[in-house]
Structure 1
Amino acid sequence: MTAYFGEMVALATAFCWTITSISFEWAGKKVGSLPLNLIRLVLAFLFISIFSYFRLGLFFASDAPPETWGWLALSGIIGLFIGDLLLFQAFVLIGARVSMLIMALTPPIAAFFGWLILNEQMTPSQLIGMTVTIMGIAMVILAKEKNQKTVQIRYPVKGILMAFGGAVGQGLGLVVSKLGMKDYDPFLATQIRIIAGAAAYIALFFVFSKWKPVFTALHNKKAMIGISTGSFFGPFLGVSFSLLAVQHTTTGIVSTIMSIVPVLIIIPSIIVFKEKVSLKEVAGAVIAFGGVVMFFVF
């Protein structure tokens, strides 16, 4: 085991999140965010189950104690249901690039909940880092129109609020998952989170009778390619790698490395979606990432 195993896994996670964000934005614009969320969790469950069977001889997390199940299930509902429900709708409204930039707030939010729930300390440098991150995000989403003194929001407010809600869900979900996982296998821990998240979506679909869009999405071959790709690199590899990384290094370091996604996603967004990205937006993404670095390094 190398000295920087956790850091390397965290970097691999960042690349996974970049691929899955592009894939899910592309598929979500074709079939909507609700059916996408359920289908990707079902696919991720199958990926993890098959992988765990060949690796550990366990198709299902049957060896996890009740306390582990409880905390990880709660984490799955918070992160994979509520958080991702908001985030994936933000993908449709404002795109993966801007959504993932706002998601750079996840590490400071996780640290806040760590302080609130786990009694972890927040230093002045962390507060400064949080401020810098917010400034970087503001550079991208705010703009001063020509011949006007007022500052305008460049993207739909609803999408921005949903992306922020996704960041809150991810940050709180990460803290709760760390409470429950401890030394348990990160892939089977992810399976428990996925089961809880999928169960919440199924209940939602039954209550609001939303099954027709799911069946429609299953027959959309192009969308299913995007969903399958995103499911493999997201809830299967990405979530599992993030938990594996947390087991081998600090949450702060993992969160910092993973926060490079808003920078990594710029070029794919230009290539895949033909987005016009200004130097100001690139600078904002870099500054936001720098703020996260300040939050945990200094």
Structure 2
Amino acid sequence: MNMSRIGEIAALATACCWTISATSFEIAGKKVGSLSVNYIRLVIGFIFISVYSYFTRGMFFPIDATASNWIWLTISGLIGFFIGDLFLFQSYLEVGSRISMLIMAASPPITAILGFFIMKERIDMIGVLGMSITMVGIAMVILSKNPEDKNIEVKYSVKGLTYAFLGALGQSVGLIFSKIGMGDYSPFAATQIRIIAGFISFTVLFIILNKWEDLKAALKEKQAMVHITVGSVFGPFVGVSLSLISIKYTSAGISSTITSIVPVLIIPLSILVFKEKVKTKEILGAVVSVVGVALLFI
């Protein structure tokens, strides 16, 4: 099996993990709030990944990382795990994980644009077409025509959609810095560094906002903790690590393309778990957005 195929398989597995984690975190967030979910899932994720690193690398802590690894991966964790996820998890509560993941389909075009400016990656006319199609697919879902005045209106919370877009932006910027900072370093150890950066950032936020009582209450919610644990295993532990394996063995663009199928994968879960009534137009919009992402990197 060649290296590019390893990257593609890892990206597909990442998409499945993020579908499960997004659904789990939405359920938990509705019970205990997005801030507590964010904080607890980083702690659980770090414990899992540290134990795994001990058995596979012989060390709990990434003490073999270079100064360059620490600097770039810390920046990546600050942007991705803290700023990006801060907005993304709140968008789950505002518009739900299905719509949030659809907006996250904008991440690959953003990644491509950032890759063009930062890493000199090429974007051709087909790529521009792909970006446009992705945006059309998203618009098909979030926009509708008012039957009374025939004006186009946004079907979902603008605040929630904005949060989701900021989450997509955070993921894209974090991905670029991850690729710069990781190099040939262990993807799992790299994830440890990113989680540490996210954990410290959220700790500071909790101190500023004095949200410790909310955190204590969340820890006592057994059902919420089960969902946070499931989401943590498939999110910060397996999912993020697989995404780093993916970008290690293939380009950031190809990795983003494959992982972008989450908006389609999450539809059956939204119907089964949240009893959402998903319209055919919305399913088509999700498919169109993924097609656009695929075109972006042909």
Secondary structure at 1:233's aligned position in 2? helix
* Paired residue total: 297
Match for residue 196 of structure 2? 195
Write out aligned runs for 1:239-254 (5 A). 239-254=240-255
Match for residue 29 of structure 1? 30
Do the aligned residues in 1 keep the contact of 2:105 with 2:263 (CA within 8 Å)?
A: yes
Match for residue 266 of structure 1? 267
TM-score (norm 1): 0.98
Bigger drift between 113-122 and 259-268 goes to 113-122
Match for residue 59 of structure 2? 58
CA distance in 2, matches of 1:267, 1:2: 32
CA distance in 1, matches of 2:116, 2:7: 23
Match for residue 174 of structure 2? 173
Letter in 1 for 2:127: Q
Specify every segment of 5 or more residues in structure 2 that has no aligned partner in the other structure, as ranges.
none
Match for residue 144 of structure 1? 145
Match for residue 204 of structure 1? 205
- Cα deviation for residue 49 of structure 1 reads 0.2
Write out aligned runs for 1:268-283 (5 A). 268-283=269-284
- Cα deviation for residue 148 of structure 1 reads 2.3
CA distance in 2, matches of 1:119, 1:292: 19
Bigger drift between 139-148 and 119-128 goes to 119-128
CA distance in 2, matches of 1:230, 1:132: 31
Letter in 2 for 1:265: I
CA distance in 2, matches of 1:227, 1:287: 31
CA distance in 2, matches of 1:49, 1:60: 7
CA distance in 2, matches of 1:207, 1:10: 37
CA distance in 2, matches of 1:196, 1:282: 36
CA distance in 1, matches of 2:200, 2:131: 34
CA distance in 2, matches of 1:116, 1:5: 27
CA distance in 2, matches of 1:240, 1:181: 12
Write out aligned runs for 1:4-43 (5 A). 4-43=5-44
- Cα deviation for residue 119 of structure 1 reads 2.5
- Cα deviation for residue 207 of structure 1 reads 1.2
Secondary structure at 1:143's aligned position in 2? strand
Match for residue 134 of structure 1? 135
- Cα deviation for residue 246 of structure 1 reads 1.1
CA distance in 1, matches of 2:216, 2:112: 40
Matched, 1:220 2:221: yes
Match for residue 78 of structure 1? 79
Write out aligned runs for 1:154-173 (5 A). 154-173=155-174
CA distance in 1, matches of 2:257, 2:121: 17
Letter in 2 for 1:111: A
- Cα deviation for residue 120 of structure 1 reads 2.3
- Cα deviation for residue 2 of structure 1 reads 4.8
TM-score (norm 2): 0.98
The Cα offsets for residues 104-163 of structure 1, whole Å up to 9 and x where unpaired, read as: 011111111112222322222111111100000000000112232111111000000000
Do the aligned residues in 1 keep the contact of 2:138 with 2:289 (CA within 8 Å)?
A: yes
- Cα deviation for residue 212 of structure 1 reads 1.1
The Cα offsets for residues 74-114 of structure 1, whole Å up to 9 and x where unpaired, read as: 00000000000000000000000000000001111111111
Specify every segment of 5 or more residues in structure 1 that has no aligned partner in the other structure, as ranges.
none
CA RMSD between the two structures: 0.9
Bigger drift between 3-12 and 126-135 goes to 3-12
Q: Structure 1 residue runs of 4+, over 6 Å off? A: none
Bigger drift between 201-210 and 272-281 goes to 201-210
Do the aligned residues in 1 keep the contact of 2:111 with 2:252 (CA within 8 Å)?
A: no
Bigger drift between 2-11 and 255-264 goes to 2-11
